[in-house]
Amino acid sequence: MLTTIQSLGQRGEGIAEADGKRVYVPFTLPGERVEIAAEGERGRLVEVIEASPDRIAPFCPHFTRCGGCQLQHLAPQAYAAFKRDLVATALGRAGIATEVGALVDARGNGRRRTTLHMRGRAAGFMGFHSHDLENLDRCPILVPALAKAPDIARAVQAAIGDGDVSFTATLTGIDVDVKPKHRARPERLSPLFTHLGLARLSLEGETLLMARPPLLKVGAATVEIPTQGFLQATEAAEDILAQLVTSALVGTKLIADLFCGVGPFALRLAEGARLYAADSDGDAVAALAKAVRNTRGLKAVEAVRRDLFREPLSAMELNRFDGLVFDPPRAGAEAQARDIAKSKVPVVVAVSCEPRTFARDAKILIEGGYRLESLTPVDQFAFSTHVELVGVFRR
């Protein structure tokens, strides 16, 4: 079937009309004349007849078969516009009119974290809208330290069978956590540990073997990361997000860092202000507290385990702070945002990896009297349809 791609959808798929219905075609671009095979609303690209001037050659030989990237074929200027539009669209649907800043490139050296699937001696990412696993020899969007991640995953699969393997590149080596599809015998993994030279090997979050604690540098501090803990995907993104947060909170003396994780913001902010840091992840909070104790020159940090979804800080609790930053999971922080909106905190910085939930929470703050002063999209999830955001709100 011959058709013309009319626009690019939020999941990075080209949108065409066929028999009066929308068809979503991955790896196509607006204005392109293409041949597709359509089944319902899903289309498969057969051939590009007339290419868009925004089409470029992808740099990875696995592109289109591997679902890890959706946008390697899109030229830089159009790519940046697409990501900014993801943010603008989400805000527009929430009734928020604001200027979206220029997209900040935060790819850095590549992603320091990834999870690979293991299936039948193959390791890689699933295909786009597919249950087929693309067996990777390498992944060029990962940091060089993770170049052997597919080989490590295949070695793990040979030992215990199918499942998933999560990797984190740290200062002291690779941290690996294995999640098998079926119950695994830990002793089968032990011989791999020394052979692969890992820093730590865990099974479903439980440490099996550790040669060296997995460490990361965060500002002036060094943090021993917990298994399965949250980190920004790239080191560059963490630095850029922290710069945006700290610059917005210059001059504040007592700051609340909500959904603090291991402290990527708290540990930097504590160089000039006192902190209250809260998160539901007890291991992350403990890692933050340990890093504070072991770092000279920081102001006081009160690190607290607290489920901010079930027990958000009330407006009365918040009123003692002159600055606040919150960085919730993709679901956002609706309950906490409602209490922030009732508070008197003069400056609030919202960090998010999901424009739609950010827009929802931003609307709550705006209706509570805050003004959205600036909004910066940050591109750490390169060549995907995900985008990070930093919004600064002031009373």
Q: What are phi and psi of 290, to 5 degrees?
A: -65, -40
Give the whole-angstrom CA distance, residue 390 versus residue 144.
Answer: 28
Task: For residue 45, give the 3-state DSSP assignment.
Answer: strand
Give the whole-angstrom CA distance, residue 141 versus residue 120.
Answer: 24
The answer for residues whose C-beta is within 8 angstroms of residue 107's C-beta and 6 or more apart is 141, 234, 236, 379, 380, 382
Which DSSP category does 188 fall into? G
The yes-or-no answer on residue 69 being catalytic is no
Q: Which amino acid is residue 233, in one-letter code?
A: A
Burial 22-44 (b: 16+ CB within 10 A, else e): ebbbbbbbbbbebebebeeeebe
Q: Which of 66, 69, 139, 353 is catalytic?
A: 353
Tokens standing for residue 107: 């790819």
Give the chain's count of helices (H) and strands (E): 9, 23
Task: For residue 191, give the 3-state DSSP assignment.
Answer: helix
Is residue 222 a contact partner of residue 213, using CB atoms and an 8 Å limit? no
Give the whole-angstrom CA distance, residue 187 versus residue 360.
Answer: 48
Give the number of other CB atoms < 10 A from CB of residue 318: 21
Give the whole-angstrom CA distance, residue 260 versus residue 277.
Answer: 6
The answer for residues whose C-beta is within 8 angstroms of residue 138's C-beta and 6 or more apart is 147, 150
As annotated, the active-site residues are 353
